[in-house]
Amino acid sequence: MIMALLWLPFGDNQFPPILQLVIIWIPFIILIVYGQKIQAWTILGEVSRYLNKLKMFRDKARVTMLNYVQKKGTTAEGRARFEELIEFVTILPVDLDPVGIVKKLDHVLTTQDIQLKEEVARLLPRDSTEIERSCALNMVEVAAALNSIYKVVRHFYILGKKSSNVYILAQLQMILPTLLRQAEALVSAMKALEEGQPLGDGVGPLVVSHLMKDVKKVKIARETVMAELEYKGRKLALIKAEGPQGSVGKVDEALINLLNGHYSDASTIIMIDAALKLEGEKTGEVAEGIGAAIGGLGVEKFKIEEIAHKYGIPLYAIIIKESIIEAISIMKKEIAESVDEVKEAVLRIVENKVPYGGKAIIIGVGNTLGISQ
């Protein structure tokens, strides 16, 4: 349109030379010489908008955490310590010589877990409940995650800005939308934690909690409970983290305890867990398979695979598909409503794979916040 207007006054010839210079050659030269700089500026603008959002999320999470612990009666000194905990670092073991690294990793992670838990328990008033402590602890972890996302992005932003390096900035620009969605999910996890609502990740413990509802529960490992259920002549050991406080428990240790005890002759181990769906897959879809269904850095998975192999017991997995964001947000309707389907799948596997009079171990993997037993 504009080109057509420019053309009009000059008949069917072409631009006068001066106009041609102004509208074609000067911009062309500017773009050649400063093109990359201009690109860097536009990307910088976009990245800095994202960065501001991430900062807002981080601050919001920190404020939510501080308000929560204040409401529960933590002193000003304690709150300052809570702020320091956000910067808490865990140094993972060296993997130059990977033999035996899982044990070292387990040691480091367990120490971190216990250390943070003790610190939070010390900072909260003595009469605080187990639920409040676990929520505060989870909030520290979420706030720390948001803090580290923000800091890493800021690092590359400043680096790119200093060096006007388009390539650093372009990479940042590409991953930022995904990072922002994860940060959003973490913020919404914060809200779930504040109210003690179940997370999408809690679907495994949810199924097991329904199964063990009417039978006696005993503690079998740290923050982990077990119940025995008779089903059509089979004996089922049900394991989940102890709720309704937010914890993933020590299901690996619970399994080891059972296998080294009365359940060494179990015919199957069935693990129920939320699993990452691919884009395009439906949330809450249930799939069955083989193997140890458990996430994390791999310590629990390693231990479970090792003990299952030692006793020669097959591992069955039932997974419920959800995105990473759904896993750390309040449980969605589609996920919650898959519970009955999962329960049926578990009982079907038990009927098919466990002989009459045999035993099976069923583990609900995930964070059991807001889910009792």
Footprint of another protein (CB under 8 A)? 56, 60, 184, 187-188, 191, 195-198, 206, 209-210, 213, 243-244, 329-333, 335-337, 339, 370-373
Q: How far is the CB of 372 from another protein (least distance, A)?
A: 4
Least spacing, CB of residue 336 vs another protein, in Å: 4
Nearer to another protein, 68 or 156 (CB): 68
Q: Which is nearer to another protein, 64 or 268 (by Cβ)?
A: 64
Smallest distance from another protein to CB 182, Å: 14
Q: What single DSSP character describes residue 321?
A: E
Distance, in Å, from the CA atom of 233 to the CA atom of 229, rounded to the nearest integer, reads: 10
Q: Which is nearer to another protein, 187 or 293 (CB)?
A: 187
Query: Bridge-partner residues for 318, per DSSP?
Result: 272, 288
**Which residue lies nearer to another protein by CB, 198 or 249?**
198
Question: Least distance in Å: CB of 150 to another protein?
Answer: 16
Q: How far is the CB of 16 from another protein (least distance, A)?
A: 53
Q: What are the b/e assignments for 142-151, b being 16+ CB within 10 Å?
A: bbbbbbebbe
Q: Give the separation between CA 284 and CA 276, rounded to whole angstroms.
A: 11
Least Å distance, CB 331 to another protein, is: 5
Of 266, 278, 361, the residue nearest 310 (C-alpha): 266
Backbone angles phi, psi at 236, to 5 degrees: -110, 130
Inter-axis angle of helices 26-71 and 166-195, to 10 degrees? 20
Closest separation in Å from C-beta 366 to another protein? 13
If the CB atoms of residues 160 and 370 are measured against another protein, the closer one turns out to be 370
Three-class HEC string of 256-303: HHHHCCCCCCCCEEEEEEEEECCCCCCCCCEEEEECCCCCCCCHHHHH
* Between 56 and 159, CB nearer to another protein: 56
Pairing relationship of beta strands 286-290 and 315-322 according to DSSP bridges: antiparallel
* Closer to another protein by Cβ: residue 160 or 243: 243
Pick from 251, 283, 253: nearest CA to 368 = 251
Sign of CA dihedral 205, 211, 217, 218: negative
